[in-house]
Amino acid sequence: MQQLAPTGGSEKPLLSLNDINMTFGGVKALKNVSFDVRPGEVHCLAGENGCGKSTLIKIITGVYRPADGASIEYDGEVYSHMSPVTAQDRGIQVIWQDLALFPEMSVAENIAFQTVLGRWPKLVDYGRMRKIATDALQRLGITLDVDLPLKEYAIAQRQIVAIARALVGEAKLVFMDEPTASLTQSETDHLLDIVRGLSAAGVAVVFVSHRLAEVLEISSRITVLRDGALVGVYPAEGMTQSRITELMTGKTFDQEVRATARQDQPVVLDVKGLSRPGQFDDISLTVRRGETLGITGLLGAGRTELAQTLFGMLQPAAGTITLEGKPVHFSSNRDAIKAGVAYLSEDRLSLGLIQPQSIADNLVISSLGKIVSGGFLSDERKRKLVAGWIADLGVKIGLQSDAISTLSGGNQQRIAIAKWLATDPKLLILDAPTVGVDVGARAGIFDIVAKLAETGLAIILISDEVPEVYFNADRVLHMAQGRIVGSYDPRSVPLAEIEGAVYA
């Protein structure tokens, strides 16, 4: 892969990082990364999940301390590491993905929050607070009732409140971590206008987003990271979405489409006209024996709600679910498990596994019935069952009695899969199975998925990373705003076309 020459700029950078290394528990999260931002530019930081983007942001904002030898040059001064206080004092602001706002407090207080900070108590000047908030919102061209509690506003307005708060801090450099992830298209357009306005006013913005279309639209330069290393810095002009994807993944061409036709197989799951108001609408789909159906789409498209409905955790308002020819009506996920549906949740760490408990106990939690002997749980049966699955899935563990939290992300994910396989499911729903899993371990997980499909299991694979479903599913459905808006066969449609549709 030839590397474009970094764009030469006559302007002196506002921020320039060199020789950044960071290691977490033996894993190198960043390897000799350098990064620079010019005053007033919109700079995009691109890379797959786990490539080191957030680590880099946390180093610049002082949350993490990089390994020795690093140099951080910001606005004329050189630091070996930042501290959160220095970063804020010097005008570096971050709009975190979780926004770090205070929902019960008023909009004015949220925006002018710095006025209540300080070591010693002072009287609160609500008039000044309101003025600061109104001014900041005015700069963004927005009107909100600053006296209302923030919780009265939807996520798009909260995003704007977070941006307004960053402006109050006399920001010179603003990081936005996935600011558009939960916004609709028109809200996104508005946000991009705001970003352009900031840039015109001399504020540099570092933009992190999965939506490549908006990255190309908004930024002047793009820094690409892959597996903790710098791939390069490229001008946005002349760049294409597929080229960025290629740079980010580095394996577009060496990955093979696994899709095969399964039309001759019997239908396992047949869903017709399934709806839940405000979440998804008129969803119809089928999954056959041995088939892997991929569902992709942006956050808030209704994917997870659909999965939870198929798993009985939510009840549909309309529509039918037919499992192996029998109409089913799950009033809870217990019914769904009994009927042969397994669901690997999106938030594996908090919902899927019980972190302090042992590997063995986590694995058997959904299939306790199988290890009962004479009315009591049998340790011997448990040990055998666990040993079998660990061998089958190639999980690397110490002892069965070790806490699950001692395992790496990839191995935890395998245990979570094994837990569900132990219930002998007919249908396995995998919701974002690679979130928080490093690139190497991902391939391993998809190998397992492919093997499971060969044994006749019907699989629904949900992911917001299009390449993941493209290369690992037999068919790909695109969900947007609660509806299925496209259906693709990876064998006949190029990846870029699906990505274009999803990230548009």
Partner 1 sequence: MHSFARTHATEVALIAVIAVICTVLSFATTNFFSIGNAFDLLNTSSVNIIFAVGLLVVLIAGGIDISFAVAASVVQYGTAIALGWIGGGGWVSGLVIAGSIGICLGAVNALLIHRFRIISIVATISTFNIYFGLLMFFTKGVSIYDLPEWLTDRVVLFEHEMADGSWIEITLPVLVMVLCVIATWVLITRTTTGRQLYAFGDNPEGARRFGINIGAMQFIAFGWLGLMAGIGGLVQAHYAQEVVPNALYGRELDVLAAVVLGGARLGGGKGSVLGCVLGVLLIAITQNGLNLMGVSPFAFKMIVGAIILIAITLSNTSIERLLPFVTQKGARR
Give yes or no for residue 237 binding partner 1 (CB under 8 A). no
Residue 154's alpha-carbon distances to 182, 188, 411, in angstroms, are 10, 14, 37
CB of 184 to partner 1, least distance (A): 25
CB of 249 to partner 1, least distance (A): 32
- The whole-angstrom separation of Cα 276 and Cα 282 is 9
Give yes or no for residue 463 binding partner 1 (CB under 8 A). no
The window from 99-107, 176-184, 190-198, 217-225 that contacts partner 1 (CB under 8 A) reads 99-107
Token reading at 407: 């395992």
- Give Cα 403 distance to the centre of its chain: 26
348-355: list long-range contacts, CB under 8 Å, 24+ apart.
348/412, 348/413, 348/416, 348/433, 348/435, 348/436, 349/412, 349/436, 352/416, 352/419, 353/404, 353/412, 353/415, 353/416, 353/419, 354/404, 355/403, 355/404, 355/405
Give yes or no for residue 123 binding partner 1 (CB under 8 A). yes
Token reading at 151: 């919780």
Site for partner 1 in 135-154 (CB under 8 A): 145, 147-149, 152
- Asked if residue 109 lies in contact with residue 129, where contact means CB atoms within 8 angstroms, the answer is yes
CB of 437 to partner 1, least distance (A): 24
- The whole-angstrom separation of Cα 292 and Cα 455 is 12
Give yes or no for residue 103 binding partner 1 (CB under 8 A). yes
Give yes or no for residue 365 binding partner 1 (CB under 8 A). no
* Dihedral sign computed on CA atoms, order 294, 297, 302, 305: positive
Which letter does DSSP use for residue 81 in this model?
Answer: S
Rounded to the nearest 10°, the torsion over CA 379, 385, 387, 392 is: -170
Which of 1, 117, 200, 391 touches partner 1 by CB under 8 A?
Answer: 117
Binding mask 32-51 for partner 1 (x = CB under 8 A): --------------------
- Asked if residue 193 lies in contact with residue 201, where contact means CB atoms within 8 angstroms, the answer is no
The window from 42-50, 92-100, 134-142, 212-220 that contacts partner 1 (CB under 8 A) reads 92-100
Q: Which is nearer to partner 1, 88 or 463 (CB)?
A: 88
Q: Which is nearer to partner 1, 109 or 468 (CB)?
A: 109
Which of 71, 73, 86, 102 touches partner 1 by CB under 8 A?
Answer: 102
Task: Please list, residue by residue across 441-465, b when 16 or more beta carbons sit within 10 angstroms of its beta carbon and e when fewer do.
Answer: bbebbbebbeebbeeebbbbbbbbb
The window from 113-121, 210-218, 326-334, 413-421 that contacts partner 1 (CB under 8 A) reads 113-121
Give yes or no for residue 127 binding partner 1 (CB under 8 A). no
Give yes or no for residue 155 binding partner 1 (CB under 8 A). no
Which of 8, 118, 374, 375 touches partner 1 by CB under 8 A?
Answer: 118
Which of 115, 134, 209, 292 touches partner 1 by CB under 8 A?
Answer: 115
Give yes or no for residue 369 binding partner 1 (CB under 8 A). no
CB of 115 to partner 1, least distance (A): 8
Positions that interact with partner 1 (CB under 8 A): 84-85, 88, 96, 98, 100-105, 109, 113-119, 121-124, 145, 147-149, 152
